[in-house]
Structure 1
Amino acid sequence: MTFRKNHPPKFSGDYDPEGDRLWLAETEKIFEAMGCLEEHKVPYATFMLQGEAENWWKFVKPTLAAPRGVIPWNSFKDKFLDNYFPRDLRKRKAREFLDLKQGNMSVGEYTAKFNELLQYWPQYQDAWNEEGLCAQFENGLRLEIQQAVSYMQITDFNQLVTKCRIFEDKMKERQTRGFGGPQRSHPF
């Protein structure tokens, strides 16, 4: 079985919402890499369930009966997330995304956290809206960076991040020169 050659992780159903979501993401990554057919996804993934998760699947499987016996991957995924990464936790993560502020993080660290939490933003799930994404990113930036880039009205996310990083680097450079650079003497 090609799926097993990719060393898919086992899933036992322990309470670890982030780990549970990561198991699902890793499984989907393997499906994509191997060009897995829709009708094989659920059987392959459920083969990796063990313990409590295997018992959960035995209970849930009959509720997902589908034509020709093929359970759609999205149906499995929805049931899985409802059980192992419940709606209240997804809402909390969405709120964390909307409230995210750069604070003391570098632009790079802020971007990584932004991208990590982005998957929980419901609007991102429905349709890609890059202008809204840029507005949300800008909203969380430190004031001096926000003021430097907002007038540009950048609607390309990668370009916005690049401009923010450049500005941050120039600010650091200016601070370094101002405090540790060569001092001018004033002849009197």
Structure 2
Amino acid sequence: MRWLSDVEGCSFTCSFPTDQKVRCALNLLRIGAKDWWRLVTGSYTDDQRAAVTWEKFRDLFRAHYIPRVEHKQLSQEFSDLKQGTESVKEITRMFTKRAMFCLEFATEQDHMTRYLSMLKTDIHQFVSTQRCDTMLDL
């Protein structure tokens, strides 16, 4: 997931058009990942390979590199996450790390709602009284 995020960051920084993201990513694949891609697209024509969208590439990459069992476990950890003795900084780090694997919480509003629900009651009550329009504000 971090690798995908790095590729997205690189394509943003370099202002790649959306249709060039996959080409950028393919140049960053190494060893086994290059072999995996050759295997996935071995039966594709050049036109079919060129037509692979970033979303399709990302879905294929996730399906291969994040086993279902691990994805399910990380999703469950995200759902079960509650602040105990952790500081706000620590629980936020834990939340952020797990959130990238939980695509069902796709919108910022979803993340904000989930984040608030896992905070200790006193912190939740304090934060709830603040005007927070974004996850960063929260």
TM class by shorter chain equals: 0.7 to 0.9
2:12 is matched with 32
Q: How does 1:12-161 map to 2 (within 5 A)?
A: 21-62=1-42, 69-125=50-106, 128-129=109-110, 132-138=113-119, 141=120, 146-147=121-122, 149-150=124-125, 153-154=128-129, 156=132
Q: Secondary structure at the match of 1:129?
A: helix
RMSD in angstroms over aligned alpha carbons?
Answer: 2.9
Check conservation: 2:74, 2:101, Cα contact below 8 A. Answer: yes
Check conservation: 1:42, 1:73, Cα contact below 8 A. Answer: yes
In structure 1, C-alpha distance between the alignment counterparts of 2:104 and 2:36, rounded to whole Å: 30
> Which has the higher relative contact order, 1 or 2, with Cα contacts under 8 A spaced 6 or more apart?
2
Q: CA deviation at 1:134?
A: 4.5
Q: Deviations over 1:117-160 (max 9, x none)?
A: 2222333226733662344233xx2xxxx14643874473556x
User: Which of the two has higher C-alpha Rg?
Assistant: 1
TM-aligned CA distance change 1:128 to 1:87, over 3 Å: farther
Structure 1 gap segments, 5+ residues each: 1-20, 162-188
> What count of residue pairs does the alignment treat as equivalent?
134
Q: Deviations over 1:51-81 (max 9, x none)?
A: 2211111111256766693210110111011
Structure 2 gap segments, 5+ residues each: none
Q: TM-score, normalised by structure 2?
A: 0.76
Q: Secondary structure at the match of 2:59?
A: helix
Check conservation: 1:98, 1:136, Cα contact below 8 A. Answer: no
In structure 1, C-alpha distance between the alignment counterparts of 2:35 and 2:8, rounded to whole Å: 22
